[in-house]
Structure 1
Amino acid sequence: MSPFTPVPGDTVSKPAADRRFAPFHRTAGASRAWRPLLLAAAVALSACTVGPDYQRPTSAPAVVFKAAEGWKTADPADVLSRGDWWRLYGDPVLDDLVARLNANNQNLAAAEAQYRQARALVGGARAAFFPTLGANAGVTRSGQNGSGGSGGSLGNDGLYAGGGSSVSKSYDANLSVSWELDLWGKLRRQLESDRAGMQASAADLAATRLSLQSELVQDYLQLRVLDAQKRLLVSTMDAYGKALRLTENQYRAGIVPKSDVAQARTQLKSTEAQSIDLDYQRAQLEHAIAVLMGVAPSSFQLAAEERVPEPPGVPAGVPSVLLERRPDIAAAERRVMGANASIGVAEAAYYPDLTLSASGGYRSGSFNDWISAPNRFWSIGPAFAMTLFDGGLIRSRVEQAEASYDQTVATYRQAVLDGFREVEDYLVQLSVFERERQVQQEALDAARESLRLIENQYKAGTVDYNSVVSLQTNTLNSERTLLTLDGNRLTASVKLIAALGGGWRPEELERPVLRQAPDERQ
């Protein structure tokens, strides 16, 4: 390492007046001119890289998920071994909707564009390792006034003389090359930082895709639950309609009072109102799915289906797997890597820069013999540049980079903790919803049996119609509650899959899967 290496905690002021060593140029002796280049190349070969090498920060230790015990593990066919995690629900319509989201969602397109920006930034950082070649050709006309009188003429040599003033032309054509040697690893650390930023952007793209897919799958599953509730209410209205007609016949026969007819009609219309309310809820979900797919709600319609998908068995895995599968955690970890490399970039400002430069071309005051041997010129030589004093500016930038690194480490550790919490929450949710559904199914069976018995008693004339209406309402509420629990279980399963990283794979950081070709089926 260089003797200029600062001592940690040093308070001596660094660079200020930006005094820099002047470049050395030679215009003769080609063999001698290459000596600085050979020397610089030798120095470059032994160059070091300043700044700390990256090591993954430690995170909260965890061996197993507390709520995973007793949770139903996935069957071998259901293991999340591929990216299309939504196929676990076995619904071809859902598969098609997610494919259209991947191709047309505008938020996903914005995240993809942001990733391409980060990828282009890496290309720019990599270009700094190569020489810069430039070309220039131009003509300059200049004049100078003297103290003599007016008058004068333009001569054949392009000079305007006489009267105490002169005007001249200069023709110039040259090629130049400049190459900054990465002696202290500044360019390498910058490339490392930009590459980490690109990988973080790739993880952000994967996280955005996973979030949007999760939102669409949840909306679709809830829509299917609403379809099931709609079918339940329609069948219930049919049963209530038959009960109303039976009650009206009994009233005309003088068997029951008119109040029974009013109660039966009230029950029917109340259920019909609940069915109408579901139309609005379903339309909202349908519109949300359309927007997620990048189409106008007016041009999209999703037909009702009889089947409601079942929650799949989801492997809970272990915490170490969670760190690899969660794209948001991967993004936070890559930002730590980038911040670590930025420390090296800031520390490299303590050391001198070495730039190799060369130029050559033709310069003449006349266009006629511009490109000719007598007008040829060239120069070549290294340039050392170093800031000698800056009042502590470099040190402050190093401290900023170190503080930024500490911030990203804390963010990464918090992301890990949040990931553990989310998985634990959804494991508990699924377990609770499963037990609650079993109890609710038992309650529904009891309500149906009670309704059957009370209807028989009403037909026998031993009870009034109020008892029947009360049990009909209780049974319908139990059936709708059971369907709501099914929807909650489906939503919790989707959230658990997303919390486990879905089908995201770590290798996408280097070569992320971008948007698919637009689907022609609109």
Structure 2
Amino acid sequence: MNRPALHRIALGLALTTLAACRTVGPDYAVPAGSAFQRPEANAAFLDTGNAQVAAGAALPARWWELYQDDTLNALVQQALRDNVELKVADANLRRAAAVYEQALDAGGFEYEAEAGVSRAQLSAESFLLEHELPPINLADGKFAVSYQFDLFGKLKRASEAAHADEQSVAAALDLARVSLVAQVAGSYVDICHANHELHVAEHSLQLQQRSREVTQRLITAGRGTPPELARANAQVAMLQAGLPPLRAHRQASEYQLAALLGRTPGQLPEGVSDCSQAPTLAQALPIGDGRALLQRRPDIRQAERKLAAATARIGVATAELYPDIRLGASVGAAGLLEDFGTPLTQQWSIGPLISWTLPSSGTHARIHATEAGADAALAEFDHSVLQALRETQTALSRYAQDLQRLQFLQQAQQQADLAASQNRRLYQGGRTPYLASLDADRSLASADATLAEAQAQVSRDQIQLFLVLGGGWNADAVAAGTAAR
């Protein structure tokens, strides 16, 4: 058989081998048995009857705009622009994108060029000579090109893993944004409620101080007693003692908000510290259902992408069982500088290069390790799903119960205010003892403070519910941004 025929047979065998090759490792899909796929996880939420929510309404991407508060909108935009932690997350995303580009560039054609000129003296003894060789000028140059065949999908699986890693980091950035917006809204609302609670406490203090003045006048007129004045002084002191914790809470919220905005303590936009009326929702809170929640929550997308990356790495490890094959060619010259480029110095090569490290127990152990990593990632994914559902149901239940509590406290405050005003008039008219009026004022002050605290808690419940719902960046917007990158 002649040489061309042998070449054709070898080429045919090579093509047959290429056609028989496949991408090793499992192809990724969300496991059918995962918690994400359960019908119960994708159903409507439970325990929504007592909450002021719209179960069928979709949560908007920019949920904070439902409050229709220009100051809050401006604070959120500033935080998204200047927050330091977001800058860290954005840098991590750019790094992950660069790693993915590097993985895409692996394999395929590779080019190499070398050139050098040197003056050297060769060892005479290495040539078995007894006299010294004269110095010579040497030159060499080479251009090489090679192509790596991804016969078993090692490079493909590596790029899949890098891509999933990038998407996981992108989800982490979205999670940071969602958390930041909730923290900004929460800090702003806390400032507003702290000012309101301070106003309520100062008003109660003023009422008690006026009551003490009345008691003092009654004692002067011979109608009051020193114990009554002592009780009035004690009540004034108790109300005064309640003011410093409220001021400290307000200052802590201001410092936290300044940090979220990327500023130092005390550097807040004008008017924020003076807010005394917290923004409220003008409509029922939209919450969607379980299916929308699982598709929207960034932490679930992050866990799912980590599972995809871990699955792809099984293929990377499995491909180590098979050889790497390259096809390369090079052309160049090497020799004396004065002869460089002549036929005597020319050199070239072409041919395949097979590199195969025979599999060992360590290779199989690495495969088992990646399989265990994928199992762990699946468990983390299921945990994220169940955690999201638990957090959402807990927030819904707490919101509903706190709303009911607020309604009862509003009724209690109205009755306490009525009782205090009636007892105050009766006491001033000398028809009831001072102790009855003092108890009524004390009950009113307690009702006012409790009502103000309950209103603040309902506001915090709303923001917490928006947070656990994953509002801020829906899956469609994230997918569009990933495709654009």
TM-score normalised to structure 1 length:
0.83
Q: Deviations over 1:247-270 (max 9, x none)?
A: 333332323234434433433343
- 2:34 is matched with 59
Aligned mate of 2:72, from 94, 102, 116: 94
The answer to whether the Cα contact below 8 Å between 1:202 and 1:508 also exists between their aligned partners in 2 is no
After TM superposition, give the deviation of residue 342 of structure 1 in Å: 0.8
8 A contact 1:59–1:416 mirrored in 2: no
Q: How does 1:294-313 map to 2 (within 5 A)?
A: 294-300=262-268, 302-311=272-281, 313=284
Kept in 2: contact 1:199–1:509 (CA 8 A)? no
Shift of 1:467: 2.2
**How far 1:38 sits from its partner (Å)?**
9.4
Q: Residue in 2 aligned with 1:127?
A: 105
Does residue 346 of the first structure (1) align with residue 317 of the second (2)? yes
- Matches of 1:470 and 1:318 in 2, distance apart? 48
Determine whether 1:222 maps to 2:193.
no
Q: Select which of 425, 433, 448 maps to 2:417.
A: 448
Equivalences, count: 469
Asked whether the equivalents of residues 177 and 359 of structure 1 are also in contact (C-alpha less than 8 Å), the reply is yes
Q: Which residue of 2 aligns with 1:378?
A: 348
Question: Is the Cα–Cα contact under 8 Å of residues 203 and 508 in structure 1 kept in the other structure?
Answer: no
| Distance of 1:147 and 1:333 partners within structure 2 | 63
Q: Report what 2:122 is aligned to.
A: 143
- Residue equivalent to 1:464: 433
1:117 pairs with one of 95, 98, 121: 95
1:438 and 2:407 matched: yes
Whether 1:171 aligns to 2:151 is no
Find the counterpart in structure 2 of residue 502 from structure 1.
Answer: 471
- State the 1:316 CA deviation: 2.8
Q: Does 1:68 align with 2:48?
A: yes
Amino acid in the other structure paired with 1:50: V
Work out the CA distance in 2 between the residues paired with 1:371 and 1:255.
125
Who is 2:303 aligned against? Answer: 332
Other-structure match for 1:231? 199
Answering whether residue 452 of structure 2 is matched by residue 483 of structure 1, we say yes
Matched AA of 2:34 = S
Query: For 1:131-178, what per-residue CA distance to the aligned partner results, in whole angstroms no more than 9, with x for missing partners?
Result: 111211123535315399xxxxxxxxxxxx973556554311111122
1:35-54 → structure 2 map (5 Å cutoff): 44=18, 47-54=21-28
Question: How many Å separate the matches in 2 of 1:313 and 1:279?
Answer: 32
C-alpha distance in 1 between matches for 2:206 and 2:302 = 55
Q: Counterpart of 1:146 in structure 2: which amino acid?
A: E
| Shift in Å, 1:370 | 2.3
Which deviates further from its counterpart, 341-350 or 243-252?
Answer: 243-252
Secondary structure of the corresponding residue to residue 248 of structure 2: helix
The one-letter code matched in structure 2 to 1:305 is C
Counterpart for residue 520 of structure 1: none
Distance 1:431 1:55, change over 3 A: same
CA distance in 2, matches of 1:298, 1:431: 36
Classify the secondary structure of the residue corresponding to 1:172.
strand
1:80 aligns with: 59
Do 2:254 and 2:273's aligned partners in 1 also have CA atoms closer than 8 Å?
no
Q: Deviations over 1:335-355 (max 9, x none)?
A: 111111111111111122111
Runs of 5+ consecutive residues of structure 2 not aligned to the other structure: none
Pick closer, same or farther for the CA change 1:451–1:69 going to 2, 3 Å. closer
The 8 Å contact of residues 193 and 337 in structure 1, kept in 2 or not, is answered as yes
The answer to which of 183-192 and 357-366 deviates more is 357-366
Shift of 1:112: 1.2
Per-residue Cα deviation, 1:317-373 (whole angstroms, up to 9, x for no partner): 22221210111011111111111111111111112211111111221222x342445
Query: What is the CA–CA distance in structure 1 between the aligned matches of 2:155 and 2:308, rounded to whole Å?
Result: 16
In structure 2, the CA distance between the partners of 1:314 and 1:47, relative to structure 1 (3 Å rule), is farther
Distance 1:50 1:389 in 2: 15
**Does structure 2 conserve the Cα–Cα contact (< 8 Å) formed by 1:48 and 1:183?**
yes
Supply the distance in 1 between the matched residues of 2:121 and 2:147 (Cα, whole angstroms).
Answer: 33
Secondary structure of 2:193's aligned partner: helix
SS in structure 2 opposite 1:356? Answer: strand
Q: Which residue of 1 is the match for residue 168 of structure 2?
A: 200
Higher helix proportion, which one? 2
Q: Report the CA distance shift for 1:359/1:439 in structure 2 as closer, same or farther (over 3 A).
A: same
**Structure-1 residue corresponding to 2:386:** 417
Question: What residue number does 2:366 align with?
Answer: 397
CA spacing shift, 1:187–1:510, aligned 2, 3 Å: farther
Change in Cα spacing, 1:75 to 1:53, as seen in structure 2 (3 Å) is: closer
Deviations 1:267-312 (A, max 9, x none): 3343233223321110001001111111110333633123222255
Give, in whole Å, the separation in 1 of the partners of 2:46 and 2:155. 46
Q: Percent identity?
A: 28
CA contact (8 A) 1:79 1:314 kept: no
8 A contact 1:36–1:382 mirrored in 2 = no
Tell me how far apart the structure 2 counterparts of residues 179 and 170 of structure 1 sit (CA, whole Å). Answer: 30
More moved, 262-271 vs 445-454:
262-271
Q: TM-score, normalised by structure 2?
A: 0.89
Distance 1:110 1:191 in 2: 24
Gaps of 5+ in 1: 1-28, 149-160, 514-522
1:12-23 superposed matches below 5 A:
none
Tell me which residue corresponds to 1:516: none
SS in 2 for 1:68: coil
Q: Could you tell me which residue of structure 1 aligns to residue 358 of structure 2?
A: 388
Residues 199-236 of structure 1: CA deviation (Å, up to 9, x unaligned): 11111111111112212211221221111111112222
Would you say the 8 A contact 1:67–1:424 is kept in 2? yes
Quick one: structure 1 residues 480 and 512, their matched pair in 2 at CA, closer, same or farther if it must change by over 3 Å? farther
How far, CA to CA, are the matches of 1:171 and 1:388 in structure 2?
39
Q: d(CA) in 2 for partners of 1:191 and 1:146? A: 52
- What's the secondary structure of 2:123's corresponding residue? strand
**Would the aligned equivalents of 2:177 and 2:472 in 1 still touch at CA under 8 Å?**
no
Moved more, 55-64 or 426-435: 55-64
Does the CA contact (< 8 Å) of 1:74 and 1:314 recur in 2? Answer: yes
Q: CA deviation at 1:69?
A: 3.8
Higher relative contact order (CA 8 A, sep 6+): 1
Task: Tell me the CA shift for residue 41 of structure 1.
Answer: 7.1
The one-letter code matched in structure 1 to 2:333 is Y
Q: Which residue in 2 is equivalent to 1:428?
A: 397
Aligned equivalents of 2:92, 2:124: Cα separation in 1: 57
What is the alpha-carbon root mean square deviation over aligned residues? 2.9
Deviation at 1:420, TM superposition (A): 0.7
The one of 228, 245, 268 equivalent to 1:260 is 228
